[in-house]
Amino acid sequence: DDDELEDEEFAEAAAVADEATLGYDEALATAGREIVEDLLDYMGFPGEVEVLRAGKENGTPTLVLAVVDGESMGALIGRRGETLQAFQFITQLLVNRRVGHWTRVLLDIEGYRSRRERYLKDTALRAAEKAMRYRESIELDPMIPSERRIVHMTLAEHEFVTTHSEGEGDHRRVIVEPTSDYVAKHGGPAERSSGGAGRAGGFSRGRGGRGRGGPRDGGYGRR
């Protein structure tokens, strides 16, 4: 995947405590804070905006903002963070116009990104467990690129499962499946107890029993 890195970058940038090391751009910080506060007021969701980072990271102007206090912020996060992604994009356009140069803008609302990342990592691990238990591929729900990357990275070093993405556009999703070695050692697909294989907890059983190295259109590995 040519996946975006917003969630991981947000966590890394927010962890930078020594502003003197990378420099602090007061003008950039002020522009970002004012723009987000104005947007919140305009939309009827007044809130407090905190600047977590304003300066260059690896030579790239970077602004990390967090809405830390407000009312009905869930409406600005949206389903699976889709509204937050759009809000971040608009903020970046306005910040770039204000400061006159390209700046990477990362925006969070009341800690949503860190909570979502924890959820995605837990979902990835549970999917891996199910893939091993039933020796079948497990399909996760469709995700945006940055979220798919979190799943891929969470399971990148897993000994018994592999991941790749399938689908196009808004329907693109991660597939978690057991390795061919694991399937060969433990046998083919296992029978589930009554209750079936319906979707639950963000994933469902996919097409089973092949493992990495088996016949799948488009091959294996991350795409």
Q: Are residues 10 and 81 in the same domain?
A: yes
Q: Is residue 213 one of the residues assigned to a domain? A: no
Residue 105 inside a domain? The answer is yes
Amino acid 58: pLDDT:
85
Q: Choose one of 88, 110, 132: the last residue of a domain.
A: 110
Same domain, 101 and 159: no
Domain-embedded: residue 182: yes
What's the pLDDT score for residue 151?
98
Q: Domain check: are 64 and 96 in the same one?
A: yes
Confirm whether 89 is domain-assigned.
yes
Residues 75 and 126 in one domain: no
Residue 104 sits in the same domain as residue 125: no
Task: Looking at the structure, tell me whether residues 101 and 27 fall in a common domain.
Answer: yes
Q: What is the mean pLDDT of each run of 10 residues along the chain (223 residues)?
A: 53 48 84 96 92 91 91 87 93 97 94 94 98 96 93 97 95 96 86 49 57 37 34
The answer to the question of residue 221 being in a domain is no
75 and 94 share one domain: yes
Residue 220 placed within a domain = no
Give the pLDDT score at 134. 95
The pLDDT of residue 69: 81
Kindly state whether residue 214 falls inside one of the protein's structural domains.
no
Residue 58 CA to residue 22 CA, distance in Å, equals: 9
Q: Determine the structural domain holding residue 42 and report its residue range.
A: 6-110
Say yes or no: 31 and 75 in one domain: yes
Domain boundary among 60, 87, 110: 110
**SS3 string of the chain?**
CCCCCHHHHHHHHHCCCCHHHHCCCHHHHHHHHHHHHHHHHHHCCCEEEEEEEEEEECCEEEEEEEEEEECCCHHHHCHHHHHHHHHHHHHHHHHHHHHCCCCEEEEEECCHHHHHHHHHHHHHHHHHHHHHHHCEEEEECCCCHHHHHHHHHHCCCCCCEEEEEECCHHHCEEEEEEEHHHHHHHCCCCCCCCCCCCCECCEEEEEECCCECCCCCCCCCCC
pLDDT of amino acid 197 = 40
pLDDT of residue 202: 65
Q: Do 67 and 156 have their domain in common? A: no
The number of domains in the chain is 2
Neighbouring CB atoms inside 10 A of 185's CB total: 11
**77 shares a domain with 123:** no
- Which of 74, 90, 110 represents a domain boundary (last residue)? 110
Q: What is the pLDDT of residue 187?
A: 82
Does a structural domain hold residue 219?
Answer: no
CATH number at residue 33: 3.30.300.20
Residues 17 and 97 in one domain: yes
The pLDDT of residue 103 is 95
Residue 106 shares a structural domain with residue 130: no
* CATH value at residue 190: 3.30.1370.50
What's the confidence (pLDDT) of residue 190?
73
Q: How far apart are CA 161 and CA 68, in angstroms?
A: 38
